[in-house]
A and B are shown apart, each in its own frame.
Chain A
């Protein structure tokens, strides 16, 4: 670290960045924790199908399965890239 660097504020502070990243990943993992075992494979296949038409990354496709009153809901959330 140079002498002048000590005067500079390096915001955003790395701890708050760590916290934001943790909130997201932990929430995601809690959701998938109770999901059926086939979910990751389903997600991969869906991604492959979508990628035939548009180019997206794994994290642009969210697949959730939730249970409500005796029925399961499969929810897809897809962010398309800007045109």
Chain B
């Protein structure tokens, strides 16, 4: 039985797809059989980040509608043999996803995988609800910024009321916070919410803090999950987060800004 993980946020552009790519690659590298599903129907992007956009033949909706079977639609990653990608379709029909259709696919995947990662679309409507409905665990991706924190809180409300676990009244979805695009220097200047601020408001366990890092853009240009950039700060923090997910106890790194000298502080650096 696979563990189903939704990567969700409410707000768009906070780093869900970046996180889904990094997390799935990290788990696969740790030896776990992992499949990552793009739930962003109509706006597929995960294929680009995973560098498999030219290999997409069938997609998620094709499988749900019976136009292809699952094994025809799954794309095997060329870098890690434990990793598979199920791309979203580019159809404009957002309602192509149904609870029954999604459930059937997840059940089928559940037999042969350890982890199923669901990359949620933005928003709190149908697509986002489909992505989180069957989750065992939710990774709530949040930026240290007012609208993102508020949207994360709304997504937590949906996880607690509209997920399968909530409806069945069984053990609730495990919630984990991943704070991304964190800029310690701005936090120290009091210009950005700190980890502690966000934790105090959302009050869920912290999986990791991913710094704002230029290598994220660079690696997305190259179609490479940033976790493969082993020297980058974002890559290292994603790697720590994966280890923590698998039970390791690691200190959070890169939470301090560069210590600036007096002149730099006065004149800017």
A: residues with CB less than 8 A from B are: 6-7, 11, 13-16, 18-19, 21-23, 25-26, 29-30, 33-34
Given known contacts A6-B267, A22-B146, A15 and B153 CB-to-CB distance under 8 angstroms: no
- The 4 A-B pairs with the shortest beta carbon distances in the complex, nearest first, are A13-B190, A19-B197, A33-B157, A15-B190
CB pairs A–B below 8 angstroms (28 shown): A6-B266, A7-B266, A11-B190, A13-B189, A13-B191, A14-B191, A15-B187, A15-B192, A15-B197, A16-B190, A18-B146, A18-B193, A19-B193, A19-B200, A21-B146, A22-B149, A22-B193, A22-B201, A25-B150, A26-B150, A26-B153, A29-B150, A29-B153, A29-B154, A29-B157, A30-B157, A33-B157, A34-B161
B: residues with CB less than 8 A from A are: 145-146, 149-150, 153-154, 157, 161, 187, 189-194, 197, 200-201, 266-268
Q: Within the complex, what minimum Cβ distance (angstroms) separates A3 from chain B?
A: 9
| Contacts beyond the supplied A13-B190, A15-B191: 6 A-B pairs with Cβ under 8 Å | A6-B268, A14-B190, A18-B145, A30-B153, A30-B157, A33-B157
Q: Within the complex, what minimum Cβ distance (angstroms) separates A7 from chain B?
A: 7
- For B154, list chain A residues within 8 Å (CB): 29
Contact: A15 with B193, CB < 8 Å?
A: yes
- For B187, list chain A residues within 8 Å (CB): 15
CA gap between A34 and B192 in the complex, in Å? 31
